[in-house]
Structures are given as C-alpha cells and as structure tokens.
C-alpha cells in the first residue's frame, strides 16, 4: 500500500509506555490506514518487541524494525529508508498524542512548502503521584529550570528554533540528508540547524499537542540533564549554530564555581566573588521556586529549590564532559 505518512517511533525498553503511545496513534483524527507505523527498536530486553508483535497481529501497518545502531538518529534514518511515504513524523514512546497531532503536522507541512519541520507543544505530566515525579513535571514548565522553549511553555503559532517530535517532508530530507548517526543525543538540534540553513522554516502550532511524561525521580532528571548537556558539548564541534546562549548558561555557572573555588584557595577576593555569585543564584532560585510553586502547593517549594540547582549543575558538568570527549571524537573525524 502507498502510505501517506510514515510514523517513526525509536524504542529501547519501552514496555511501560509503548502500548499507550500506539493506542494514541491509532486514535488519531488522521486516517490510521494511511499511516506506516514503524517501531524501530535498539535491542530491547523487556517486552517492547512482544508488544509490537501483538499490535502487528491486529494492524498490518504497525511493524517492528531492528536498529543495530541503537541510538535514535540511526532509528530515524532506518525508518525513512524503510518507507516511501511523502511525510515523515518522528514520535517518542514516552508520550501520548492528542487526536489532532498527525493531522495538524501534515496540514502544517501542506500549507506552506517552505516548512521543513512542523510540531506542537507538550502537556507535561508526572509519571506517578510521588513528590519528585510531580516536581519534575513542574520543573519542565519553568524558564529558570529548563530554559523556556516554546513547546514547553506555549506561544502563538509561528516560526521557532525547534519543536519536539516533528514532521518533515520527504523531499526535504532527500535534499539535506538524514540525521547524523554519530550523535547519540542532540541530533534534533543539528538537524534543525541544517533545515534552517537550507532555507526551510520550523513551524510551531499550539493546536498540535501531546502529553509528555517527565522523569519520575530526582536522579533520573539529573541523568537526563547530564546527557543533554553532554550533547551540547558534542555539538560545539559539529555545528555551533545549533547551540543557543541558553544552552551554555549551565556550563558557565559550573565553570564559575570550579574556577572560583580553585582560585579562592590562593586569593581571598575570589572567595568573596564566588560567595556573591552563589548568593545571587540562590536568590534567583528562591524566586523561581516561589513562582513555580503557585497553583501546585507549597510542599513543592523546597524540592523545586533543590532540583533547579541539581539539573543546572548536571547539565553544566555534562557539557564539560561533552566538550572533552567531543574533542577526541569529532576533531579526529574532520
């Protein structure tokens, strides 16, 4: 069958979320029979593959494809090559997609041939009712915490720098190439940068919505932020245009602490400068925690104060690691 939309869902041990994700795809307002749904799996050890097989028994247009390269950029490229559909939508198993999602993405691409990527906004929800799971969800709405990307905090429809889980015209991918398969994370930043350099727009439509589940624990959130920061370090050598000022702020914060701490051992003025800097940060953290707590309850105030600091430091140290490891990996490949 000549499908009109290719749905690519990279997975790795996603048994907890995959069924709900697929059910939300089946329930789309866009005709499901016109979708080529590919779950591209990077070697799951849980029941992910069995879940896909069960769905395949009921729906011929849902299929499993193996991804020996494991990472998401390779999964995307495999999906593109295994379908001939003119529109490509990259989804994430950790999210549920509201009924208009696919229809809105395809409509956005059809409305303007200059659009190379169309997506919408997140409705960020906790994975469970625990204190830290809810705190992580609140964190993702905060400009102070995560940086205030449009898809997190919402905005009017228009061109932006990035959208999550985007939709792309095949002809554009054939023109600029697929995602870089040497980037384990941050591949979307680099891909969006190439899209814009090729003269295409990245379009945000707030009517396109999905429910995204935030990490359930403080440790999981810090691990995620460390990995995100590491990807920025790699992108420094790959495509600096894909990095914004907001991506570098945690790096500067951590470097300030490290340099200030070392220098203060030998020169007292650096100690006072470090103390002043940390005091200013704490004041900003306190204010941000107060505003983020509104509407949720004061029991989240102290956890927010803690998690803001932890994710900023994790992201900063991740960027340092990415810069160090990226020097060896990407400089050698030039």
Residues 94-129 have pLDDT tens digits of 999 999 999 999 999 999 999 999 999 988 899 999
Same domain for 62 and 147, yes or no, is yes
Residue 220 domain-assigned?
Answer: no
Output the pLDDT for position 145: 83
Same domain for 178 and 299, yes or no, is no
Which domain range does residue 274 map to?
Answer: 236-333
Residues 167-204 have pLDDT tens digits of 999 999 999 999 999 898 899 999 999 999 999 999 99
Same domain for 202 and 318, yes or no, is no
* Mean pLDDT within 287-293: 94
Rounded to two decimals, what is the model's pTM?
0.90
Give the SS3 label for residue 77.
Answer: helix
Same domain for 59 and 90, yes or no, is yes
Kind and range of the H or E run holding 117: strand 115-125
DSSP state of 88: E
Same domain for 241 and 204, yes or no, is no
Domain with 129 in it: what CATH number?
3.90.550.10
Same domain for 23 and 144, yes or no, is yes
Buried b (16+ CB within 10 A) or exposed e, 102-135: bbbbbbbbeeeeebbbbbbbbebebbeeeebbbb
* Mean pLDDT within 10-24: 96
Residue 223 domain-assigned?
Answer: no
Same domain for 21 and 80, yes or no, is yes
Residue 192 domain-assigned?
Answer: yes
* Mean pLDDT within 14-35: 97
Burial degree of 93 (CB within 10 A; 0-12, 13-18, 19+): buried
**Number of structural domains the chain divides into:** 2
Residue 9 CA to residue 7 CA, distance in Å, equals 7
Q: Both tokens of residue 198?
A: 């090729």
Residue 53 domain-assigned?
Answer: yes
């Amino acid at each position: 069958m000549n499908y009109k939309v290719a749905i690519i869902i990279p997975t790795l041990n996603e048994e907890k979320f995959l069924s709900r994700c697929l059910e939300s795809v089946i329930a789309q307002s866009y005709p499901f029979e016109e979708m080529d749904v590919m779950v591209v799996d990077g070697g799951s050890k849980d029941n992910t593959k069995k879940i896909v097989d069960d769905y395949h028994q009921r729906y011929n247009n849902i299929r499993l494809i193996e991804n020996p390269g494991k990472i998401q950029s390779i999964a995307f490229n495999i999906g593109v090559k295994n379908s001939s559909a003119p529109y490509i939508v990259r989804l994430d198993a950790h999210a549920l997609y509201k009924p208009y999602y696919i229809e809105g993405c395809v409509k956005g691409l059809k409305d303007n041939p200059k659009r190379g990527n169309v997506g919408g906004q997140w409705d960020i929800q906790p994975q469970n009712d625990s204190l830290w799971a809810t705190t992580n969800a609140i964190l993702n709405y905060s400009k102070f915490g995560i940086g205030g990307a449009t898809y997190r905090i919402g905005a009017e429809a228009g061109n932006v720098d990035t959208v999550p889980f985007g939709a792309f015209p095949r002809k554009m991918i054939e023109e600029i190439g697929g995602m870089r398969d040497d980037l384990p994370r941050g591949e979307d930043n680099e891909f969006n940068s190439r899209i814009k350099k090729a003269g295409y727009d990245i379009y945000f439509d707030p009517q396109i919505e999905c429910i995204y589940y935030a990490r359930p624990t403080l440790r999981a959130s810090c691990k995620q932020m460390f990995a995100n920061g590491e990807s920025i370090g790699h992108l420094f050598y790959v495509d600096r245009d894909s990095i914004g000022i907001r991506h570098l702020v945690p790096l500067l914060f951590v470097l300030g602490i490290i340099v200030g701490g070392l220098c203060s051992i030998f020169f007292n003025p650096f100690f006072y400068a470090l103390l002043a800097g940390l005091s200013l940060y704490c004041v900003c953290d306190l204010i941000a925690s107060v505003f983020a707590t509104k509407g949720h309850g004061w029991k989240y105030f102290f956890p927010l104060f803690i998690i803001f600091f932890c994710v900023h430091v994790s992201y900063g140290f991740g960027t340092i690691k990415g810069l160090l490891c990226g020097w060896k990996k990407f400089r050698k490949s030039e």
